[in-house]
Copies of this chain bind each other. A is one copy, B any other.
Amino acid sequence: MTVDVPVDLDTIRAAHARIREHVRRTPVLTSPQLDAAIRSALFFKCENLQEIGAFKARGACNAVLSLDDEEAARGVVTHSSGNHGAALAWAAARRRIPAWIVMPDNAAKVKQSAVTDLGAIVRYCEPTVAAREAMCAAVQTETGATLVHPYNDWRVIAGQGTAALELLEDEPGLDAIVTPVGGGGLLSGTAIAAKSMKPSISVFGAEPEGADDAYQSLRSGRIVPQTDPRTIADGLRSSLGEKTFAVISSSVDAIGTTSEAAIVRAMRLCWEKLRVVVEPSSAVPLAAMLEAKLPIAGMRVGVILSGGNVDLERLPWQH
């Protein structure tokens, strides 16, 4: 299977022009103590400080603003009980168009209210892939809404690439960029943006050992679906799609995997040393570096902190 990749630096710059009034230009933080721990110079792009608390605002906003008026009027639909669902609800609210979010009927109340508070309509389904795809298709048939997939969508991938665009504008001296990889939208957009802006740069993904489908997929040269993911990093349990696999297998230098203990340690270090609230998925790149799973010694490394939506009642380092 050959996949034609229609996203390049121009596409990502166009996405940035489209969304820049809506998303935040997030700050880049540093910590001499973390640098000393890793023996590299780390530059953390704080996507957790987006209004909805995740980089997902970028891709969702680009997808929503890419629709023509007629398409837009019919609304958008997706399946996600996590950050993409909230991001699409938020983006649709900004354009004042309807959004339907399909989520399993066992989703936490807080995740349901996160999207209904933004004005979206929740549609419930059985907690299986087949059921959520069927429900999305039913909503599309019923309403004419456009499906905005969480990551296997070129408009979403282009939007996610705008974080790396800003990061390299702010820190042009970077030697490498690391992002977490779940479905691969952020990593794909980052790889296209970064390699186009600076061909010498390395782009790495990082994922939990307990959800290492991207690592397995790259090793075997085909998409290895994630079955039975076991990780605290709830944003990284998805499988790659054919679009993200095409980009990642051709452009990403390596995927580092990391233990659950390192993820918790890295998450706590971000809270303590950077003083920002990050969710476990965000801490996976730092965790992989703490475990020396990525060849970044002595480099200037950009790290995308992907999100900051956590339950403050239950922190993973507390017993």
| Inter-subunit contact B49/A275 (CB<8 Å) | yes
Taking CB atoms, residues of chain B closer than 8 Å to A274 are 49
Taking CB atoms, residues of chain B closer than 8 Å to A318 are 313, 318
Taking CB atoms, residues of chain B closer than 8 Å to A313 are 317-318
Whether A272 sits at the interface, judged by CB under 8 Å, is: yes
Contact with B along A269-302 (1 / 0, CB 8 A): 0011011111000000000000000000000000
Taking chain A's interface residues, is the majority helix, strand, or loop, or is none over half, making it mixed? loop
Closest Cβ of chain B to A110, distance in Å, is 11
Distance in angstroms between the alpha carbons of A313 and B277 in the assembled complex: 14
| Inter-subunit contact B275/A312 (CB<8 Å) | no
| Inter-subunit contact B272/A275 (CB<8 Å) | no
Copies of this protein in the assembly total: 2
Distance in angstroms between the alpha carbons of A73 and B151 in the assembled complex: 58
| Inter-subunit contact A312/B315 (CB<8 Å) | yes
Distance in angstroms between the alpha carbons of A315 and B27 in the assembled complex: 26
Whether A10 sits at the interface, judged by CB under 8 Å, is: no
Whether A53 sits at the interface, judged by CB under 8 Å, is: yes
Q: Which of A32, A277, A309, A313 is the most central at the interface, judged by chain B CB atoms within 10 Å of its CB?
A: A277
Whether A84 sits at the interface, judged by CB under 8 Å, is: no
Taking CB atoms, residues of chain B closer than 8 Å to A277 are 271-272, 275-277
Distance in angstroms between the alpha carbons of A275 and B272 in the assembled complex: 13
Which residue of chain B lies nearest to A305 when distances are taken between CB atoms in the complex? Answer: B275
Closest Cβ of chain B to A217, distance in Å, is 31
**Known contacts being A271-B277, A275-B308, A312-B315, is A51 close to B32, with CB within 8 Å?**
yes
Distance in angstroms between the alpha carbons of A274 and B309 in the assembled complex: 10
**Known contacts being A275-B276, A276-B277, A317-B312, is A51 close to B31, with CB within 8 Å?**
yes
Taking CB atoms, residues of chain B closer than 8 Å to A53 are 275
**Known contacts being A276-B277, A277-B276, A277-B277, is A271 close to B312, with CB within 8 Å?**
yes
Which A residues are closer than 8 A to B by beta carbons? 27, 29-32, 48-49, 51, 53, 268, 271-272, 274-278, 308-309, 312-313, 315, 317-318
8 closest A-B pairs (Cβ-Cβ)? A275-B308, A27-B27, A275-B277, A48-B275, A271-B277, A53-B275, A276-B276, A271-B312
Starting from the known contacts A275-B308, A276-B277, A313-B317, 16 additional A-B residue pairs (CB-CB under 8 Å) come to: A27-B27, A27-B49, A30-B51, A31-B51, A32-B51, A49-B274, A49-B275, A268-B312, A271-B312, A272-B277, A272-B312, A275-B276, A277-B277, A312-B315, A312-B317, A313-B318
